[in-house]
Amino acid sequence: MTPASRLSAAIEILADIEARRRPAADVLKDWGLSHRFAGSGDRAALAGLVYDALRRRASARWLLGADTPRATLIGMLVLQRGETAQTLAGLLSGERFSPEALSADEQGALASRRLEDAPPEIQADVPHWLWPSFEAAFGADAVQEGRALAERAPVDLRVNTLKATREKLLAELEPLGAVPTLLSPLGIRVPLGPEGRSPSVQSEETFRKGWFEIQDEGSQLAGLIAAARPGEQVLDLCAGGGGKTLEFAAAMDNKGQIFATDNDKRRLAPIHERLERAGVRNVQVRTPRGALPIDDLAGRMDMVLVDAPCSGSGTWRRNPDAKWRLRPSSLADRQKDQAQVLRAGAQAVRPGGRLVFVTCSVLPDENDASVRTFLADHDDFTAMPLGGLAKSAGFSGFGRLASAGGLGLQLSPQRSGTDGFFVAVLQRR
Ligand SMILES: C[S@@+](CC[C@H](N)C(=O)[O-])C[C@H]1O[C@@H](n2cnc3c(N)ncnc32)[C@H](O)[C@@H]1O
């Protein structure tokens, strides 16, 4: 495909995502299946264009003064890829397979509009209705935080200390430009390729051997703060594919017991193969059949992780379409889910044990607020001060990471260079 025909296809895909409110990944996949002539390079370039455009959707549209898929793409090309009205004239000719040439209105908008003049939520590329939550979370830094969430995300790996060390893995992955992460002592960051292409780390021999997992540094830090120790009894209540289960097993050096479950058995399914590859031997996977199979664990766990269902606002760098699909009703549904999983998890905590609440969100409505609601109903739990926990987890400079409501730690691309994660540790008396 020519560069111009890729732009036409990207506009078509953006229109489809919008018209049918479908996840970008599904639309891109369908497009690839129905356009077999497009090679893997074309598909990767298209995905780059579409995801970059979705990350900057509000600011791109504002720049062009139009709420269309075409404006989203052209605005992104200017804001993200440094194109100008002059260079765009070479790309947009209106000839066969190329998008129409810039109109007089578009040229006028590009010549006169400046993003600095836009309302703050547009500059931040945050949906209008969520802006009050954003300001509540970040105060004067809200625009910077939104902008950081509209950047591309790097690929982070967590070394599996059951099989390798960070130094050994860094040496193996040197050809990919791998570097140590700044906060997590377990992390390695691999830079993206041209146009934001992800390096194919899963084709590495070291991945097959179980030396590492793909896990954002923020998720690693959440797991480190939970501080699973060798010999402990641990319940991972919302284990999904097992990202944190695997991290705990390595932290516990395969000693003690982890129970991993999830109310969606399809999400839980990949965990078996991952445990095998990682050489994990202390995990009992409990696949649900109806109710969550945890009744026998009541009051027995040293630590229960509730890695709760949430809006995913902290992962907008990776899933920018989710940012524009989120609705107030689904946020309210997630808050109800959070109350339910916290209640279920609390029952399994032994006296003196800890309930660790994690979301991949930056919205106080489902972070501090969910913890506050839980504590109001559970006077046998108290929020632990996070300074000591962060230090014992091996990273410092924690003060700037306190959440707005003060009940937990708030990570974000701007603050910690990671996805946006919230972590609170609640101790049972
Ligand atoms: C953020 S994801 C978990 C990610 C996982 N812990 C990891 O580190 O890879 C949240 C999970 O909560 C699960 N979930 C939602 N409601 C639940 C409930 N009521 N009980 C248990 N799990 C639930 C979802 O199926 C989803 O897999």
* Domain limit, last residue, from 89, 118, 147: 118
Q: Model confidence over 257-286: pLDDT tens digits?
A: 999 999 999 999 999 999 999 999 999 999
Indicate whether 278 and 364 sit together in one domain.
yes
Residue 146 lies in a domain: no
- How many Å lie between the centroid of ligand 1 and the Cα of residue 267? 8
Does residue 360 carry a catalytic annotation? Answer: yes
Indicate whether 204 and 226 sit together in one domain.
no
- How many Å lie between the centroid of ligand 1 and the Cα of residue 33? 31
Residue 127 lies in a domain: no
Cα separation, 219 vs 4, whole angstroms: 38
Residue 342 lies in a domain: yes
Residue 133 lies in a domain: no
Where helices occur in 212-363 by DSSP H, the ranges are 217-226, 243-251, 265-268, 271-278, 320-325, 328-348
Question: One of 28, 360, 407, 411 is an active-site residue; which one?
Answer: 360
Cα separation, 374 vs 305, whole angstroms: 15
Indicate whether 191 and 289 sit together in one domain.
no
The residue written with tokens 């999983």 in the block is 341
Q: Indicate which residue's Cα is closest to atom 8 of ligand 1.
A: 243
* Domain limit, last residue, from 101, 118, 135: 118
pLDDT at res. 389: 65
Indicate whether 259 and 207 sit together in one domain.
no
Residue 148 lies in a domain: no
Indicate whether 312 and 404 sit together in one domain.
yes
pLDDT at res. 392: 63
The domain that holds 387 is classified in CATH as: 3.40.50.150
Ligand 1 atom with the smallest distance to the CA of 308 is 10
Residue 262 annotated as binding site: yes
The domain that holds 159 is classified in CATH as: 3.30.70.1170
Residue of 262, 275, 292, 313 to mutate, ligand 1, most atoms within 8 A of C-beta: 262
The sheet with strand 212-214 has its strands ordered as 179-180, 187-190, 155-159, 212-214
The verdict on the CB of residue 288 being under 6 Å from ligand 1 is: no
Q: What is the number of domains present in the chain?
A: 3
* Domain limit, last residue, from 63, 94, 118: 118
CA dihedral 271, 276, 281, 282 (to 10 degrees): -10
Of 70, 148, 151, 52, the C-alpha closest to 109 is 70
The verdict on the CB of residue 237 being under 6 Å from ligand 1 is: yes
Q: 171 lies in which domain range?
A: 155-214
The model's pTM: 0.96
Indicate whether 230 and 198 sit together in one domain.
no
Indicate whether 210 and 221 sit together in one domain.
no
Residue 130 lies in a domain: no
Q: Indicate which residue's Cα is closest to atom 9 of ligand 1.
A: 243
Q: What is the pLDDT along the chain (429 residues), one digit of tens a residue?
A: 999 999 999 999 999 999 998 999 999 999 999 998 999 999 999 999 999 999 999 999 999 999 999 999 999 999 999 999 999 998 998 888 899 999 999 999 999 999 999 999 999 999 999 999 999 999 999 999 999 999 999 999 999 999 999 999 999 999 999 999 999 999 999 999 888 888 999 999 999 999 999 999 999 999 999 999 999 999 999 999 999 999 999 999 999 999 999 999 999 999 999 999 999 999 999 999 988 899 999 999 999 999 999 999 999 999 999 999 999 999 999 999 999 999 999 999 999 999 999 999 999 999 999 999 999 999 999 999 877 767 766 666 677 889 999 999 999 999 999 999 999 999 999
The verdict on the CB of residue 333 being under 6 Å from ligand 1 is: no
Indicate whether 252 and 361 sit together in one domain.
yes
Cα separation, 290 vs 426, whole angstroms: 28
The verdict on the CB of residue 420 being under 6 Å from ligand 1 is: no
Indicate whether 308 and 424 sit together in one domain.
yes
Return the CA Rg of the chain: 23
Residue 123 lies in a domain: no
CA dihedral 390, 391, 395, 401 (to 10 degrees): 40
The residue written with tokens 């040197």 in the block is 174
Q: Indicate which residue's Cα is closest to atom 27 of ligand 1.
A: 240
Indicate whether 313 and 175 sit together in one domain.
no
Paired strand residues for 428: 381
Residue 307 annotated as binding site: yes
Indicate whether 327 and 369 sit together in one domain.
yes
Of 201, 203, 200, the C-alpha closest to 159 is 201
Residue 129 lies in a domain: no
The verdict on the CB of residue 107 being under 6 Å from ligand 1 is: no
Q: Model confidence over 350-360: pLDDT tens digits?
A: 999 999 999 99
- How many Å lie between the centroid of ligand 1 and the Cα of residue 243? 11
Indicate whether 176 and 274 sit together in one domain.
no
